[in-house]
Amino acid sequence: MPRTSTYETVLDAGQFTPTQLGTTAVGRLAFQAGARWLRDHVCSHRALVSEHRVGFVLWSWQLAYESPLGFLDADTALVDVRARLRGPASSQLEVEMTLSGPAGVAVRTRGASVPLRLGGDQALSGAPAPLPDALLADFKDDEVERSPHRSPVRALRGRFERDGERLAAGTTSYRVHRHHCEVADQWYWAETLGFAAGAREELVLRHGRSAPELRRALADGIRGVDVTWLRSGQLWDLLDVHTTAYRHGDELAFVHEIRLADDDGGPCALVVERI
């Protein structure tokens, strides 16, 4: 059986919105869970970087809310996390986390990262490369799968664009400041969930009167989030978040394309939030 790390995490009011655990808070908990599994079963994140010159860049992440969990429901939540290598030549690290409260599993996340061989500079720059044999040996046979993880984001976006009814669109801008970043002075990936959430709220504030259905996005909370990262934002970059809201059957969806302002090099990230 794949190895699981299980532990309790203390909950605090800053992790919650009035309706649920915030998406950025879940992202941070998921990142910590992945670091915990690596420390328990392979080596610590610090040792990966400083001793093995190995980093990971997250490119795909999914979040699903399952049962209610509010701030007043519990002091702690139970975290279960497991990981495995996927794809040809073990080119991806996939981490799955569940976070459970009194009503059962409250959230599930799944993320896939690509290993990098680091160059040794302070920016932790690197290039995709297979994991060293010494690290590969620390994964059990049933923690290695040849089929790759695939991101659903482009298919979801295409479905909403093709079959959904467009309700509103707009652009929100952000500057990447140091509190959005991690040790390498590039954006901390979980902060992009906050950029998307803020852009969704801005769209509702601007168009909620003309399209009242959008207000569900504030009253009902999120059911799921799917993200793919294509390029990283760096310290003090100016970002434009282009957001489009769609109705698709009973589902309300917000599709966010995060780009560098005045840059035609393609999106940095695509985020799909579903209500």
pLDDT in tens, the chain (275 residues): 889 999 999 999 999 999 999 999 999 999 999 999 999 999 999 999 999 999 999 999 999 999 999 999 999 999 999 999 999 989 999 999 999 999 999 999 999 999 999 987 877 788 999 999 999 999 999 999 999 999 999 999 999 999 999 999 999 999 999 999 999 999 999 999 999 999 999 999 999 999 999 999 998 889 999 999 999 999 999 999 999 999 999 999 999 999 999 888 899 999 999 99
CB 107 within 8 A of CB 63: yes
Angle at 265 (CA atoms; ends 49, 115), nearest 5 degrees: 20
Interatomic CA distance for residues 275 and 272, integer angstroms: 10
Angle at 150 (CA atoms; ends 243, 77), nearest 5 degrees: 75
All residues at 6 or more sequence positions from 70 whose CB lies less than 8 Å from its CB, including other chains: 16, 19, 20
Amino acid at 238: L
Instruction: Find tokens 């393609």 and name the residue.
Output: 266
Which two tokens mark 256? 């966010």
